[in-house]
Amino acid sequence: MSTYKRATLDDEDPLDSIGEGDGYPNGFQVNFCGPRSSLGCWAQRTRPEKQLMVLVAVLAAVLAACLLGLIFQYRARPPAVCLSEACISVTSSILSSLDRAVNPCEDFFGYACGGWIKANPLPDGHSRWGTFNNLWEHNQAIMKHLLENTTANVSSEAERKAQRYYQACMNESKIEELRAAPLMELIQKLGGWNITGPWAGDNFNATLQKVDQSGLGLPSRDYYLNKTENEKVLAGYLNYMVQLGMFLGGTDEESTRQQMQQILDFETALANITIPQEKHRDEEVIYHKMTAGDLKELAPAVDWMPFLSMVFHPVELNESEPIVVYAKEYLEQVSDLILATDKCLLNNYMIWNLVRKTSPFLDQRFQDAEEKFMEVMYGTKKAEEMIAEIKTAFEESLETLQWMDEETRKSAKEKADAIYNMIGYPKFIMDPKELDKVFNDYEAVSDLYFENVMQFYNFSARVTADQLRKPPNRDQWSMTPPTVNAYYSPTKNEIVFPAGILQAPFYTRASPKSLNFGGIGVVVGHELTHAFDDQGREYDKDGNLRPWWKNSSVEAFKRQTACMVEQYSNYTINGEAVNGKHTLGENIADNGGLKAAYRAYQNWLKKNGDEETLPTLGLTNHQLFFVGFAQVWCSVRTPESSHEGLITDPHSPSRFRVIGTVSNSREFAEHFGCPLGSPMNPPKKCEVW
């Protein structure tokens, strides 16, 4: 290691050894005076000394003035402006989305998205539209091009299977020729359907084992229970059921309607015993571990061992097999309902679920019927670096939390460190041999679309069953690569970002860091925070559901989240309130994600210095961070779609995902100069992470 040597004057002549006139060749002499009489000292100076001292003083003053001028000039000089093609393009996009007539401190969503909303009316056939949809359509166009390019040199058999699957889907003449025959044949194999013909009542248990019980046909129990409010939807749903029944061979519309009404009544009975979504959030309460044998006593209406053996074939099961049951009371009540219901009605209900799920893969009549019902119902490597930066920022925030005890804080940091990142796509996709190995058990025929779909359902079920008694497989993703979304898995403690979301407006290499941190950075922070929301916090760093928090921190967490429940419950759309409890997990993630991403951006600026600003916007890069975040959520919806979202979606409406988070951000209020008490800078702010 190099060391620095301290200079000494040991080898030099002492100062007082300099004799008069000897120290300098020209006889110039400098005398030292004591502090007592400065005037006397000046008087003792020679004329040349006085002139030199005055000159030095003047030069020092000039130098100081120059330095001060440079400092003030540097501070006053605005940051450099980025004029690259990418910066001009993104500036144009931001400008077109802004509405400058709106005060950002009054309504930041309107300010950031007003221009976009005016320029993007709802497309025909859609009940909602946003930036996610634009990006999804772009991804779909790319996929379409790849699947249709049959002349390309395809190295993988799995890719050829995908092309055959696509060809079958696009073979409309064959689909129209077959009409309802594929589904009718499947129904006959399952014992028949009383709505379209005789059914084998003596084979009911076999039917039960072959058909998955899917619950409700409508998105939420509220549609069934609030009949007055949803009368139009329920009537449309019944008409849709009758139409499909007639398409599949029903001969008497009156009889078909009567039996479909019975199915609808049965679904209503199910809705009555279904647990509200907000009560599903505490997994420690609804999680019940038992054995397969215990299921017989809990829900005797189902012959569980044959059913489970069929699902997980060829794995051999016995009654000691561990089973996890969510909502134990619900399963008990479902069993009672099954025992009290006529077998013919149960068969009708289960076959209806099969019909509802598979009819979109039949001819145009079925698609038209579904579309008509939907109209009634909805009213028509840099990524790795950024994830690491967001993690660091999140862990820094952990250190500042006042409400969390040290032991729990330490465990929370360990969990954050242990979160596994999945980016782009599973590794096996790029290896033709591995890809073929994964899809070896699946076959696709180029002119049988319905059969391809059914084969894929069976293939997916086999893949799922194959995971029994095995550790979590990180190569199995819950989303496909083109998906414009991301997710956190609590049982695997992993965050997943498909390739579909790793592009504008969320992320581009050429965009300012402020936009990337405000876009994909907030998404990363959102998913990371899910590990510590009201559900994710119940799982430890290894994905095990166990109580790893101290009670004091649990109670403090509940107090912090109560503020957020109250805040979001006060937001309304068309006079209908947001459910602050149901949306709590996503609201925690939205707020924590914004905070972590902004902190990470600040850390980046400290390390790299100011970046260039975008031209003509008149926005600082700090303001641009918040604008970039908000414009991701620009969207429009019909009133019916908004209602459906309020009762089914665990996310708050887009508008409140923006204003709910920025109104809790002190940094937002500071950079936009929002006065205290303005809508976007309320005195009371909610903060969890």
What would the DSSP string read from start to end of 427-441? GGGG-HHHHHHHTTT
- Taken in order 358, 362, 365, 371, is the CA torsion positive or negative? positive
pLDDT score, position 30: 35
Stretch 299-316: mean pLDDT, rounded?
84
Q: Is the pLDDT of residue 504 over 70?
A: yes
pLDDT score, position 608: 87
Percent pLDDT > 70 in the chain is 85
Please tell me which residue, 227 or 47, carries the higher pLDDT value.
Answer: 227
pLDDT score, position 577: 92
pLDDT score, position 679: 92
Cβ atoms of 247 and 366 within 8 Å: the answer is yes
Tell me, what DSSP letter sits at residue 521? I
pLDDT-based confidence at residue 680 (cuts at 50, 70, 90)? very high
The lowest-confidence range among 272-286, 287-301, 349-363, 543-557 is 272-286
d(Cα 594, Cα 27) in Å, to the nearest integer? Answer: 73
pLDDT-based confidence at residue 387 (cuts at 50, 70, 90)? confident
pLDDT score, position 7: 34
Which CATH superfamily is 177-275+332-378 part of?
Neutral endopeptidase , domain2 (1.10.1380.10)
d(Cα 594, Cα 366) in Å, to the nearest integer? Answer: 43
Stretch 207-218: mean pLDDT, rounded?
54
Q: Which residue of the set 538, 590, 640, 644 is catalytic?
A: 590
Letter for the amino acid at 124?
D
Stretch 253-269: mean pLDDT, rounded?
91
d(Cα 98, Cα 115) in Å, to the nearest integer? Answer: 5
Torsion angles phi and psi, residue 494, rounded to 5: -135, 150
Stretch 440-468: mean pLDDT, rounded?
85
Count Cβ atoms below 10 Å from residue 251 Cβ, excluding itself: 10
The lowest-confidence range among 16-20, 327-331, 354-358, 656-660 is 16-20
pLDDT score, position 71: 55
Residues 6 or more apart from 142 whose CB is under 8 A from it? 482
pTM value is 0.59
CA atoms within 13 A on the CB side of 400: 11
Stretch 5-29: mean pLDDT, rounded?
35
Stretch 69-75: mean pLDDT, rounded?
53
pLDDT score, position 8: 32
Stretch 200-222: mean pLDDT, rounded?
60
Letter for the amino acid at 296?
K
d(Cα 110, Cα 479) in Å, to the nearest integer? Answer: 32
Local structure of 680: helix, strand or coil? coil
Q: Which residue of the set 222, 527, 534, 640 is catalytic?
A: 527
pLDDT score, position 678: 93
The lowest-confidence range among 276-280, 356-360, 501-505, 624-628 is 276-280
Structure token pair of residue 442: 């699946």
Strand runs labelled E in 298-348: 322-326
pLDDT score, position 35: 42
Tell me, what DSSP letter sits at residue 632? T
Stretch 331-335: mean pLDDT, rounded?
87
**79-88, 293-302, 445-454, 652-661: which is most confident:** 652-661
Token match 């199910």: residue?
A: 270
Rounded to the nearest 10 degrees, how much is the dihedral formed by the CA atoms of 689, 472, 291, 288? Answer: 10
Structure token pair of residue 613: 């600003």
pLDDT score, position 14: 35
pLDDT-based confidence at residue 204 (cuts at 50, 70, 90)? low
Smallest CA-to-CA distance from 441 within 468, 463, 425, 474 is with: 463
Tell me, what DSSP letter sits at residue 81? B
d(Cα 371, Cα 373) in Å, to the nearest integer? Answer: 5
Strand pairing class (322-326; 576-577): unpaired
pLDDT score, position 212: 38
Count Cβ atoms below 10 Å from residue 346 Cβ, excluding itself: 19
Q: Is the pLDDT of residue 566 over 90?
A: yes
Q: How far is CA 6 from CA 2, 3, 10, 11, 15, in A?
A: 13, 10, 12, 14, 20
Q: Is 475 a catalytic residue?
A: no
pLDDT-based confidence at residue 39 (cuts at 50, 70, 90)? very low
Strand pairing class (322-326; 128-130): unpaired
Q: Is 252 a catalytic residue?
A: no
Please tell me which residue, 427 or 107, carries the higher pLDDT value.
Answer: 107
Q: How far is CA 599 from CA 25, 250, 296, 433, in A?
A: 64, 62, 53, 43
- Taken in order 102, 104, 108, 112, is the CA torsion positive or negative? positive
List the beta bridge partners of residue 573. 576
Stretch 23-44: mean pLDDT, rounded?
43
Domain layout of the chain by residue ranges: 19-76, 99-127+381-421+503-672, 177-275+332-378, 432-461
pLDDT-based confidence at residue 327 (cuts at 50, 70, 90)? confident
pLDDT tens profile 251-260: 888 889 999 9
- Taken in order 440, 441, 446, 452, is the CA torsion positive or negative? negative
List the beta bridge partners of residue 229. none
Torsion angles phi and psi, residue 585, rounded to 5: -60, -45
Structure token pair of residue 590: 């939205």
Q: How far is CA 472 from CA 439, 499, 623, 627, in A?
A: 19, 22, 42, 39
Strand runs labelled E in 56-175: 128-130
Please tell me which residue, 525 or 314, carries the higher pLDDT value.
Answer: 525
Stretch 580-589: mean pLDDT, rounded?
92
Stretch 310-319: mean pLDDT, rounded?
82
To which H or E segment does residue 192 belong?
Answer: none
Please tell me which residue, 373 or 9, carries the higher pLDDT value.
Answer: 373
Token match 């581009």: residue?
A: 508
Residues 6 or more apart from 85 whose CB is under 8 A from it? none
CATH 3.30.300.130 describes domain 99-127+381-421+503-672: no
Q: Is the pLDDT of residue 10 over 90?
A: no
Q: Mean pLDDT, the chain, as a whole number?
A: 81
Torsion angles phi and psi, residue 189, rounded to 5: -65, -30
| First-last CA distance in the chain | 43
